[in-house]
């Protein structure tokens, strides 16, 4: 497959680039020009194309990244002058031009509005009540992230949002999909496993137009390979 990875220079983005290339996919990696050096290790590898712009919301850069892509994997974040809602709107425009309609988004356990019928734990509701006002004092915007998740669900795309617990830099150990209210404060998921889950989801028609939750594999579960 040819995959566009939007926001490719962060820790999760570079894990996605690595996983995609190891699997033999072609990658169009879009990041800010200021962060391009973080992808230097992939520059000479086959199948890798780097696209830079002053912002990942840049219309021309998004169109180049999505051109000919089978799917896009999007690191969704609202920080400083990058708004998740602005990125989703820019992606919608680029998708209409390029025809790339399969889009998989990252999310945290509370950064996406739950689907109808999903339950949140008392801990998750407490996090939402605490973090929403606190983030008004930081560069991050929980409100904008949740608004973006609502935008995504209204678009006529083959979208998937995959929520993860706390991510860590560790060797892959496998993952499983579970209910939102199955996430505990003790859960830690290696980024390599999150990247594997995101890429696996691209080819799963049953994941279209769904919010999913990924969890670390149980000790007695067969690990899902990346």
Query: Which tens digit of pLDDT belongs to each residue from 169-220?
Result: 999 999 999 999 999 999 999 999 999 999 999 999 999 999 999 999 976 5
Query: Average pLDDT of 114-122?
Result: 96
Q: What is the pLDDT of residue 225?
A: 45
Q: What is the pLDDT of residue 221?
A: 56
pLDDT tens per residue across span 35-64: 999 999 999 889 999 999 999 999 999 999
Is 34 a residue whose pLDDT tops 60? yes
Q: Which long-range contacts (CB under 8 A, 24 or more apart) does 166-171 make?
A: 167/11, 167/12, 167/191, 167/194, 169/11
- Say if CB 48 and CB 55 are below 8 A apart: no
74 Cβ neighbours under 8 A, 6+ residues apart = 6, 7, 87, 91, 103, 104, 105, 106
Domain 2-216 listed as CATH 3.40.50.620: no
The share of the chain scoring above pLDDT 70, in percent, equals 96
Residue 192 sits at φ, ψ, to 5 deg, of -60, -35
Q: What is the pLDDT of residue 133?
A: 85
Is 224 a residue whose pLDDT tops 80? no
Strand partners, 130: none
Neighbours of 194 (CB within 10 A): 25
pLDDT tens per residue across span 121-140: 999 999 999 988 888 778 89
With residue 73 as reference, give the H or E element that holds it: strand 71-74
pLDDT tens per residue across span 88-111: 999 999 999 999 999 999 999 999
- The pTM of this model reads 0.94
Locate the domains of the chain by residue range.
Answer: 2-216
């Amino acid at each position: 497959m040819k995959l566009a990875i939007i926001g490719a220079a962060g820790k999760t983005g570079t894990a996605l680039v690595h996983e995609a290339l190891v699997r033999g996919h072609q990658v169009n990696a879009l990041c800010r020009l200021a962060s391009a050096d973080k992808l230097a290790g992939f520059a000479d590898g086959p199948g890798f194309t780097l696209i830079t712009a002053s912002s990942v919301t840049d219309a021309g850069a998004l169109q180049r990244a999505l051109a000919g892509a089978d799917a896009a994997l999007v690191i969704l974040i609202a920080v400083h002058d990058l708004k998740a809602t602005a990125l989703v709107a820019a992606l919608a425009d680029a998708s209409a031009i390029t025809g790339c309609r399969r889009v998989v988004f990252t999310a945290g356990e509370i950064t996406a509005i739950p689907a109808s019928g999903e339950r949140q734990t008392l801990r998750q509701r407490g996090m939402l009540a605490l973090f929403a006002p606190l983030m008004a004092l930081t560069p991050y915007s929980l409100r904008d992230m949740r608004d973006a998740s609502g935008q995504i669900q209204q678009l006529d795309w083959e979208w998937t949002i995959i929520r993860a617990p706390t991510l860590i830099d560790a060797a892959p150990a496998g993952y499983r999909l579970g209910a939102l209210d199955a996430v505990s404060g003790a859960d830690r998921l290696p980024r390599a496993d999150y990247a594997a889950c995101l890429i696996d989801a691209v080819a799963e028609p049953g994941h279209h137009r769904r919010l999913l939750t990924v969890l670390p594999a149980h000790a007695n579960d067969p690990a899902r390979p990346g």
